[in-house]
Amino acid sequence: MNAKIGIRPIIDGRKAERENLEEKVMSMAVAAKELIEGNLKYLDGTPVQCVIADTTISGSAQARDCAEKFSKENVTATLSVTSCWCYGSETMDTDPNTIKAIWGFNGTENPGAVYLAAAMAAHAQKGYPAFSIYGKDVQDKSDTSIPEDVQEKILQFARCAVAVGTMKGKSYVNVGSVSMGIQGSYCDDQFFQKYLGIRPEFVDMTEVLRRMKNEIYDEEEYKRAYEWTRKNCKDGFDNNKPEIQHTAEQKEEEWKFVVKMTMIIRDIMLGNPRLKELGYYEESLGRNAIAGGFQGQRMWSDWQPVGDFAEAILNSSFDWNGVRKPTILATENDTLNATSMLFGQLLTNSASVFADVRTYWSPEAVERVSGWKPEGLAENGFIHLINSGAAALDGSARSKDSEGKPCMKPWYEMKEEDVTACLEATQWCPASAGYFQGGGFSSQFYTKAEMPVTLMRVNLVHGVGPTLQIAEGYTVVLPEEVHDILNQRTDPTWPTTWFAPRLTGEGAFSDVYSVMANWGANHGSFSYGHIGKELITLASMLRIPVSLHNVERKDIFRPHCFAGFGTADLESADYRACQAYGPLYR
């Protein structure tokens, strides 16, 4: 069952008041429900669902009835609404497991905002973080509309709360373990369980080989998948020295292998009812995964075809079965970058793009090696985002929005022509033989469009715990010959994105160099659009402090009680609040 938002209409219980206000308060609840259900979608593409309490709530008896109803409906967040004075601690949602918000109507006939303030004080004192929603301008009592600023806050709260609810109770599947000493691939059980409500699981990479050898996959689907792949996934240039290139026959075998591998990893993560029909009941169940990672290097890639095809296709919004939800599979089993990908995916319902944060190109260095003085978005330099062979094909930026502009879009909005264009933009180059002796194919594309994107990264810092980094910016298009010169200096068989963070002139966003210099690890994930403010709200729900961002102060929306930890320096207050509340789950 998808996570729902529970709406709690709150009222003053005095007979005359109740009779006078019942309709108004209920109409606020209905309006909030309609707003949320009409605007937000779950990751599966269906509209987000809200449940309204059976009665208005004037005290603890009705609060209990409401909590009972919500507990049967998988309500993971509550929005209390009111237009009048009510009794704060007697009506509030005291379930420690729900994410909370209150919308107090800004009218002065019956002061909903006074209740809101009293209720916020109660939440702060009792230790339940809650978001406060209050319109900027006074409304008439008879006005049943939701002002735009309130709409924005309700939707931001609901979108992030649904993301929290969607993660809860799922699994993270480590296929393999630690890749090349990358700390992010040491899956931290406590982090996943306590901060995200996600159960980490381990599956040895030999399981992929067992299923391959014993043919534990759907042969009919495999035939279709293979045919589709050979028709739609273009062979790319072989960058290896002729004497170590694999033969055409070897490559043909590798194609068969990587298609099967993709299906097998998907089945391990998500299950597949066909496997039950084939006599493999346990395998058919899958592992309830919301994300996973593939170790790959080196115990696999030293002698088996690389995981790039599986990673790139699973992370994309489509495969041989058509358009479908991307399945996050992190390169090098970097579990923390998988978490970054997951945050991006849950907030946009679109593919997330995994990347090495590889090179800072200063304007001077670009000019020195290419003769071109960077201008436009590239003016202050840029960062080369390039994964070692795999990235969601959506990252090629060939999908088009309703105005015909390049974008990455919610997977369920992908059109046939978007899929074709992403496939057209991608070539599959034989893997670099120096690094990857087992062969296989890397996904090669160039993000050839100026798109608003947000780069993000979850880190674990001893003494602090998890932290989140956010850099909003743009993908950059370089003159063709400059792109070639820069890209040829690294492995040109990999997917490339040139990224320019939006500078603010302050702190880590004084210049592009500082953004790269402050990045917490070798990897990041980017998502379409400027979603920094949503990420900040989501992180505050999970009690993950944000250590770097370029979001304007006016857009920062965290639980009201965070102000109790300080209002001048929001970053420090965030750290203190997250530490005081601790992780969401115990």
List residues with catalytic annotation.
332, 356
**According to the binding rule CB under 6 A, does residue 497 interact with ligand CVU?**
no
Say how far apart CA 200 and CA 30 lie, in whole Å.
38
Please, which residue, 308 or 418, has the CB nearer to ligand CVU?
Answer: 308
Please state the closest distance from residue 434 (CB atom) to ligand CVU, in A. Answer: 9
**According to the binding rule CB under 5 A, does residue 311 interact with Mn ion?**
no
Please give the residue whose beta carbon sits closest to Mn ion in the complex. 356
Restricting to residues 83-122, name those near ligand CVU by CB under 6 A. Answer: none
Which does residue 280 touch among Mn ion, ligand CVU, none (CB within 5 to 8 A, set by kind)?
A: none
User: What backbone torsions phi and psi does residue 408 show, to the nearest 5 degrees?
Assistant: -120, 135
Please state the closest distance from residue 332 (CB atom) to ligand CVU, in A. Answer: 6
Please state the closest distance from residue 230 (CB atom) to ligand CVU, in A. Answer: 26
Task: For 425-437, give the secondary structure using H, E and C.
Answer: CCEEEECCCCCCC
Please state the closest distance from residue 239 (CB atom) to Mn ion, in A. Answer: 18
**According to the binding rule CB under 5 A, does residue 491 interact with Mn ion?**
no
**According to the binding rule CB under 6 A, does residue 435 interact with ligand CVU?**
yes
Please state the closest distance from residue 356 (CB atom) to ligand CVU, in A. Answer: 5
Please state the closest distance from residue 218 (CB atom) to ligand CVU, in A. Answer: 31
Which does residue 297 touch among ligand CVU, Mn ion, none (CB within 5 to 8 A, set by kind)?
A: ligand CVU
95 labelled binding-site residue:
no
Restricting to residues 369-408, name those near ligand CVU by CB under 6 A. Answer: 388
Say how far apart CA 9 and CA 24 lie, in whole Å.
10
Biggest alpha carbon distance in the chain?
90
Within 10 angstroms of residue 381's Cβ, the number of other Cβ atoms is 21
Please state the closest distance from residue 426 (CB atom) to ligand CVU, in A. Answer: 19
DSSP sequence for 58-104: -SHHHHHHHHHHHHTTTEEEEEEEESS---HHHHS---TTSEEEEEE
Please, which residue, 388 or 399, has the CB nearer to ligand CVU?
Answer: 388
Distance of CA 54 to the CA centre of its chain: 34
Please, which residue, 106 or 185, has the CB nearer to Mn ion?
Answer: 185
Please give the residue whose beta carbon sits closest to ligand CVU in the complex. 388
356 labelled binding-site residue:
yes
With contacts defined by CB under 6 A, how many residues of the chain interact with ligand CVU? 6
**According to the binding rule CB under 6 A, does residue 522 interact with ligand CVU?**
yes
Please, which residue, 284 or 490, has the CB nearer to ligand CVU?
Answer: 490
CA distances from 200 to 186, 194, 203, 252 (A): 11, 11, 10, 35
Non-local CB neighbours of 571 within 8 Å, separated by 6+ positions: 545, 546, 547
Say how far apart CA 390 and CA 444 lie, in whole Å.
8
CA distances from 274 to 213, 262, 267, 325, 506 (A): 18, 16, 10, 19, 55
Which does residue 435 touch among ligand CVU, Mn ion, none (CB within 5 to 8 A, set by kind)?
A: ligand CVU
523 labelled binding-site residue:
yes
Which does residue 228 touch among ligand CVU, Mn ion, none (CB within 5 to 8 A, set by kind)?
A: none
**Residue 224 burial by CB count (10 A; 0-12/13-18/19+): exposed, middle or buried?**
middle
Please, which residue, 183 or 193, has the CB nearer to ligand CVU?
Answer: 183
In the list 311, 356, 394, 534, the residue contacting Mn ion (rule: CB under 5 A) is: 356
524 touches 455 (CB < 8 A) = yes
Both tokens of residue 399? 């999908």
Q: Please say whether the dihedral angle defined by the alpha carbons of residues 129, 456, 526 and 172, taken in this order, is positive or negative.
A: negative
Report DSSP state, residue 41. Answer: B
574 touches 558 (CB < 8 A) = yes
463 touches 453 (CB < 8 A) = no
Which does residue 574 touch among Mn ion, ligand CVU, none (CB within 5 to 8 A, set by kind)?
A: none
Please, which residue, 94 or 359, has the CB nearer to ligand CVU?
Answer: 359
Please, which residue, 39 or 490, has the CB nearer to ligand CVU?
Answer: 490
Please, which residue, 12 or 356, has the CB nearer to ligand CVU?
Answer: 356
- Dihedral angle computed from the Cα positions of residues 188, 190, 193 and 194, in that order, rounded to the nearest 10 degrees: -130
First to last CA, the chain: 22
Please state the closest distance from residue 436 (CB atom) to ligand CVU, in A. Answer: 7
CA distances from 454 to 230, 345, 406 (A): 33, 12, 15
Q: How many contiguous H segments (helices) and E segments (strands) does the chain have?
A: 19, 23
In the list 98, 106, 297, 345, the residue contacting ligand CVU (rule: CB under 6 A) is: 297
Residues at the annotated binding site? 332, 356, 523
Which residues are near ligand CVU by CB under 6 A? 297, 332, 356, 388, 435, 522
Residues at the annotated binding site for Mn(2+)? 332, 356, 523
Which residues are near Mn ion by CB under 5 A? 356, 388
